[in-house]
Amino acid sequence: MGNRTHTEVSVARQSPQRPDADEPELDDTEAPAAADEVEADRPPVNRALWDEVRIDPVEIALPAGTGFTLRAYRPARELTPTDVVERDQDDPFLARRQVVETEDDEEVVILDEEFAALSAEEDDEKAEKAAKGRRKGKADDDAAEDKAESEDDDEEAEEDDEDEDEDAAGDEEVPAFLTHKGRLLLFKTPESLVSFIRSGAPNDMSQLDSWNELSERLEPADIAPLDEDTYELDLVVENLRGGHDAWDHELLIEAGEIARDLAYALRLPAVLDMLSAGSSLDDLDEALRASVNGGIGGFLGRRRLKKIGAQTASLGWRTIVGKISAVVDWRD
């Protein structure tokens, strides 16, 4: 994990010069290895297992410490959301979802009743006019029938659109973490994470089709998160408090990404709302992303950042980090 609290120092390298004839040559074996040479000597982390199971190790730093966990992306239809009943009996996400479903059901019933009554009324009107044998009545009947057919077509089209939306939502890939009963499991060492996975203990990731393969093949040495899977939420609030000139764009952008994923997987509606489109923290995220680009877009992004209050941003992120920390289950 990169430490962004320390100032990076660049060291200029000079090509070695030939020693003078009178000077003894140094034994190369006694010279300390350069840092980059040490890194080069380390064997690369084998990513074959992670690529096969489509799961990644993740490292998250929070005010209480740093821990390892797992994350995967799967179509929403393949995942059963984590059960938050024990975590919060009055979970607002669950309550809001049930209300929406109930309202939808009621609307369907009302529409069905209205359509049935309208169809019955039109049928009576057509029968009465047909009995009188008037051409005008027949024309009205035809018009009414065309109208009913048009409404049928419109309703079928709406149902098809709804089905397509549901299919699209089900196919959308969403994040899943190593969670259990609404809590994120964070392990302080790779060994403890591997031990938990091998133990067969209940968790929400066990529903993945590749879970058994992972539990059989995983070794502690495999728990080596990539840079893009390493997040420092513990530094976000302090960085924002430092003012616009001190803001670490990469740190803050990555924090937004992991916070959104965690909020979805852990069903934290308050965090999702705070980071939703149009919110002040979402404006901050967009401005940060724009500012790292060159050209006029980067210039405009930097101008937008100066208009965002550092205090407001830091307070908002303090709330987000606090809510995420509150649902973490630390494991040794």
Helices (H), 4-132: 35-41, 48-53, 92-132
The pTM assigned to this predicted structure is: 0.66
Residue 199 belongs to some domain of the structure: yes
Query: Is the same domain home to 257 and 319?
Result: yes
CB 185 within 8 A of CB 266: no
Query: Is the same domain home to 185 and 240?
Result: yes
C-alpha 244/C-alpha 193 separation (Å) is: 38
Name the DSSP letter for residue 221. G
Instruction: Indicate if the alpha-carbon torsion angle 27, 30, 35, 36 is positive or negative.
Output: positive
| Tens of pLDDT, residue by residue, the chain (332 residues) | 444 444 343 333 343 444 444 444 444 444 445 545 544 444 567 799 999 999 999 999 999 999 999 999 999 999 999 999 999 865 444 444 444 344 444 433 333 344 344 445 545 554 565 555 555 555 565 666 666 666 666 666 666 555 565 566 668 999 999 999 999 999 999 999 999 999 999 999 999 999 999 999 999 999 999 999 999 999 999 999 999 899 999 999 999 999 999 999 999 999 999 999 999 999 999 999 999 887 788 888 888 888 899 999 999 999 999 999 999 999 98
Residue 21 belongs to some domain of the structure: no
C-alpha 262/C-alpha 227 separation (Å) is: 18
In what helix (H) or strand (E) does residue 179 lie, and over which residues does it extend? strand 179-180
Residue 114 belongs to some domain of the structure: yes
Overall domain count for the chain:
2
Convert 172-201 to b/e letters by CB count within 10 Å (16 or more is b). eebbbbbbbebbbbbbeebebbbebbeeee
Residue that finishes a domain, picked among 149, 173, 197: 173
Query: Is the same domain home to 144 and 263?
Result: no
Domain range for residue 97? Answer: 92-173
Query: Is the same domain home to 179 and 169?
Result: no
Residue 25 belongs to some domain of the structure: no
C-alpha 216/C-alpha 197 separation (Å) is: 9
Closest listed residue to residue 268, CA positions, set 201, 331, 175: 175
Residue 109 belongs to some domain of the structure: yes
CB 236 within 8 A of CB 285: no
Query: Is the same domain home to 143 and 200?
Result: no
Query: Is the same domain home to 275 and 311?
Result: yes
Q: How far apart are the first and last CA of the chain?
A: 20
